Amino acid sequence: MTRIRRILETVLYCDDLARTAAFYQILLGASPMLSGDRLVAIDAGEGTVLLLFQRGNSGPLNAPGGLVPGHDGGGPVHLAFAIDAADIDAWSTRLAQLGIDIESRVRWERGGLSLYFRDPDGRSVELATPGLWPSY
């Protein structure tokens, strides 16, 4: 059977695209790869892309190479960014400097550590070190 290599894109739908895009640009220290009133694309590391869409403005798009189907979403969601174990203290410090409260810290059975906090839209965001999953 052919295997998936990895998740390429994660999409978040935002109430205020500019506010949420600014949050993730500062958090990730990354400039947008693409930016407009409809979406912002940010490099999320190791070949992954964080796509931020303005909620309600992600209908079908006629792109030069074909039609991109419309999509939208809502409700409480969660996403996790992989970080190196050696960087956990630096991330804790960075979150504090940015005025982002750490909601929870979890030490996993396999040795991984997770920091949880909220983004401007109330989503649960996690920074996770190796040792969380058998595959990570």
Give residue-wise pLDDT tens across range 20-43: 999 999 999 999 999 999 999 999
How far does the chain reach from its first CA to its final CA, in angstroms? Answer: 22
Distance CA 123, CA 93 (A): 21
**Which band of pLDDT confidence, cut at 50, 70 and 90, is reported for residue 63?**
confident
The dihedral sign for the CA sequence 108, 111, 112, 118: positive
* Segments forming the whole domain that contains residue 83: 76-136
Q: Over range 115-136, report the average pLDDT.
A: 95
Q: Give the chain's length.
A: 136
pLDDT of residue 1: 84
Q: Do residue 136 and residue 94 come from a single domain? A: yes
The verdict on pTM exceeding 0.85 is: yes
For residues 5 and 111, which has the higher predicted lDDT (pLDDT)? 111
Together in a domain, 44 and 95: no
Does 92 have pLDDT greater than 90?
A: yes
The verdict on residue 91 lying in a domain is yes
